[in-house]
Structure 1
Amino acid sequence: MQIMRPLYVDPAVPGMAFTYVMATGGGVAQADRYRQDLVCGPGTQALFTTQAATKVYRMEHDYATQRVHLTAGEGAYVEYLPDAVIPFAGSRFHQSSVVTADETATVVYAETVTGGRLARGERHEYTVFTSDLEIRRPDGTLLAVDTMRLRPEDVGGVTGPGVFAGHDHVASVHVVSTRRPAQEIADTLHRSLADADVLHGTSVLPEACGAWTRILGHEQPCVTAAVHTAWDAVRRLLLGHPAPDLRKQ
């Protein structure tokens, strides 16, 4: 794994550093242990993304993990918007993320998971996929937790109500910010997705530290577009500028 030299490509926010986190191999293999430590100091403006989807390969033994530690200092504005994770059949993957945000910082944190290599007819054939997100203050105070536990072979599977509900893609966008009231952020997220071809639900985060939305969709382009729409709406509200085109195609 490596980080590309930061780019400054958004004329609306010329001081924002765009950084691509890139895998040096084709994907995540068994026994891989990845860790990202992203420390953004006071006043930082930064966007982190990936160059492509993260493929998690079949595993005969062991499992793979990825840890993300994102810290945003006083007055920082940080966006973490990776492409989707695609767990292949037989894969075992755990992702653990900890976002530590100063009370004056803003963090937009997104995640997307796809049910497998759908074009090959491979749908929810991974062995296990888990994800934990913690949002904390610098003193360690826990603000919010979001967990995902996907085990297709468990009783009930993962395609029914309360999980994927017949959909193939799930995404979440968490917005940690005190720049605007939490309810206003939640309302902005909700309105932005009103016409999107996805299912979605939105609420404020605990302690009114921000808001979040969960998105379900049948098609990856629709989910990707919905995440971008939500990101754009929040960016306009909190930063006063639209979300840029990340130009990955």
Structure 2
Amino acid sequence: MRSGPVIDHLAPERYQPGWLPGSVARHAAGLDMLPVGSPGKVGVLHLAFERVGGRTELTGHYQKTPLQIARPLYYDPERPDMPYLMFMSSGGGVLQGDRYRIDVSCGEGSSVHLTTQAATRLYRMEQDYATQLVNLTAGPGGYLEYLPDTVIPFADSRYYQRLRVTVAADATVVLGETLMAGRLARGERHAYTAYCSDVEVRDTSARLLFADPLRLVPGERPVTGPAVMAGFGLLSSLYVVTAAQPARLVADTMHAVLAGTGLRAGASVLPGDRGAWARILGDRSPEVEAALQLTWNAVRELLLGVPAPDRRKQ
């Protein structure tokens, strides 16, 4: 691996959010078990990718359990230059007091697909809360996909995620998020205490291109209205930040696919015509995942001229 600036990955200011929504911050407390910062409570991934010899290679790698990665795979015959990387957690889920941080930088001309091993389970939390900070950077001419599996907040969980993306003017970033209202088969629909997230996308001068905050706090305000989950069991979002095609064309392509799914869904242009985004609502995980796959496939065909590979984990 190539050397770079020395970073203290375990400094508290790196894995502790500098700011939290009040609905999560109010639950801050000491833990009777392992306190914040103990071994196994702080997960860190720091990854760097560069284009080397005609394909993208992992050139920088630091990990701390419970976060880790599988070996990059080059399994897409349509894009043999693009590695597919899976984030994994040895803990099986997110616990109270957990603090995770993921940093991924993609150098000039690199192409990377990032996903997770399985659904992210947010376990019951009686003390404190859990957080995850994700920072993604796509350099000039880069193509980055971040499509994690569904997040499932268990009853009484408290969680905050901040996803910050820095994108070069001619780079493309495809972001996906899917949230389930809880363990629906067990009757836990919106039984979590607080689920809050922030998506922030900026250019290389740190200028904000757009932000999408989500605040779901069932004990404070309804989370089933038309502006949130509207009584559905799953909410999925897909953001396509690109200048490779006109924003309206990207939005129309996504909307045309979603119109044929029969789900409550739609697409629109991002602020400043920096791309497009889509929202999908449904009651069953398979149908929402299928709609997301179809939309991602249409985006792939439009931007890269190749279909999306099967996302099923082997």
Q: TM-score range by the shorter chain?
A: over 0.9
- Give the secondary structure class of the aligned counterpart of 1:193: helix
Which of 213, 226, 234 does residue 169 from structure 1 map onto?
A: 234
Tell me the TM-score normalised to structure 1 length: 0.98
- Which residue in the other structure is 2:17 paired with? none
Distance in 2 (alpha carbons) for counterparts of 1:128 and 1:247: 29
Runs of 4+ in 1 over 4 A off after TM superposition: none
- Which residue in the other structure is 1:137 paired with? 203
Task: Determine if the alignment matches structure 1 residue 201 to structure 2 residue 201.
Answer: no
Q: Aligned ranges for residues 206-245 of structure 1 at < 5 Å?
A: 206-245=271-310
The residue identity in structure 1 corresponding to 2:184 is L
- Which residue in the other structure is 1:52 paired with? 118
Distance in 2 (alpha carbons) for counterparts of 1:194 and 1:79: 23
Q: Aligned ranges for residues 85-164 of structure 1 at < 5 Å?
A: 85-155=151-221, 157-164=222-229
Distance in 2 (alpha carbons) for counterparts of 1:131 and 1:41: 27
Task: Determine if the alignment matches structure 1 residue 5 to structure 2 residue 87.
Answer: no
Which of 23, 27, 30 does residue 89 from structure 2 map onto?
A: 23
The residue identity in structure 1 corresponding to 2:246 is P
- Root-mean-square deviation (CA, aligned residues, Å) is 0.9
Does structure 1 retain, via aligned residues, the 8 Å contact 2:259–2:266? no
Select the structure with the greater relative contact order (CA < 8 A; seq sep ≥ 6): 1
- Give the secondary structure class of the aligned counterpart of 1:192: helix
1:90-131 alpha-carbon deviations (Å, 9 max, x no partner): 000001000111011000000000000111111110000001
Tell me the TM-score normalised to structure 2 length: 0.78
- Give the secondary structure class of the aligned counterpart of 2:124: coil
Distance in 2 (alpha carbons) for counterparts of 1:141 and 1:26: 37
Task: Determine if the alignment matches structure 1 residue 82 to structure 2 residue 145.
Answer: no
Size of the aligned set, in residue pairs, is 248
The answer for unaligned runs of 5 or more in structure 1 is: none
1:143-181 alpha-carbon deviations (Å, 9 max, x no partner): 0000100011123x2123322111010010000000000
Does structure 2 retain, via aligned residues, the 8 Å contact 1:197–1:222? no
Distance in 1 (alpha carbons) for counterparts of 2:98 and 2:106: 26
Task: Determine if the alignment matches structure 1 residue 185 to structure 2 residue 230.
Answer: no
